[in-house]
Amino acid sequence: MARLHKLFFAIFAPLLLLQGKRVRARTPRLPEAEGARAGFTAGAAPAGEKGLPLLRVLVLGDSAAAGVGCARQEQAVLGQWVAALSEHAEVEWQLVAKSSLTCAQVLKLLRESDLTAKRFDQVLVSVGVNDVTRRTAPKKWQADLAAMTAYLTHQLQAKHILYTALPPMHKFPALPQPLRWLVGEQAKQLNNLLKLHCRQQSNTYYLAFEVPYESKFIAADGYHPSAHAAALWAQTAAKVGFEETN
């Protein structure tokens, strides 16, 4: 399959490069969601219930993690995940994310960030789309994932790392054919390697969720998740995280 991708790119390189430039020129550049990137949310304990556990959580990654496609962090995956977790726990939370970063660049950003906690119980990661668009080699992708997991596990003592599946880029309405097919195939390849990585690690989970391809689930750029999609993402992460800690 890798050889097929290379042959396809070699044959259609001029068209693909032209389409890529046109997509970048025509696609609206949406800002990252506004709002706090660290804080504490009290748990919504039922009447008479005391002693809710404390969860320290981190959202880490690219533009989707940073909330591009949503107006505020409360609407993005960070805010909606924290809201869901707070039904069962007190939540100390932080966001470390920036648009256009590859997996390796996200790890560099994390290493350079001032963190509010020395360890985290759960980490929700969003990486991969920029590795597709920048054509990160499969072996480098695997090495970058291994470095990310090792740092989160050993330096931040992360108990549970939830790696978000790459989106189905072969369905992105903002991408024309044949560019859409090519990036879609690359995304599938990196996704398969992400699944393999998560199976090989005791504290990682491959987080996949279905997003209906309806306009309300896609941001105005035709590329990023809207607040509705972020809600599905957050609910799935909260469900998995709760199951893993109980």
- Give pLDDT, residue 225: 93
- Give pLDDT, residue 4: 52
Instruction: Classify domain 38-44+52-244 at the CATH topology level.
Output: Rossmann fold (3.40.50)
The reported pTM is 0.88
Give me the residues paired with residue 159 across strands.
Answer: none
- Give pLDDT, residue 213: 74
Residue keyed to tokens 């949406």? 30
- DSSP secondary structure code for residue 211 in this structure: -
- Give pLDDT, residue 222: 80
Average pLDDT along the chain, 246 residues, taken 10 residues at a time: 55 51 65 98 66 93 97 98 94 97 98 97 97 93 98 98 90 68 86 97 94 86 91 96 68
What is the token pair recorded at 84? 């869901």
- Give pLDDT, residue 164: 98
Would you say 117 and 56 are in contact if contact means Cβ atoms under 8 Å apart?
Answer: yes
What does the domain layout of the chain look like in residue ranges? Answer: 38-44+52-244
- DSSP secondary structure code for residue 246 in this structure: -
- Give pLDDT, residue 234: 98
- In whole angstroms, give the CA distance from residue 180 to residue 171: 7
All residues at 6 or more sequence positions from 119 whose CB lies less than 8 Å from its CB, including other chains: 56, 156, 157, 158
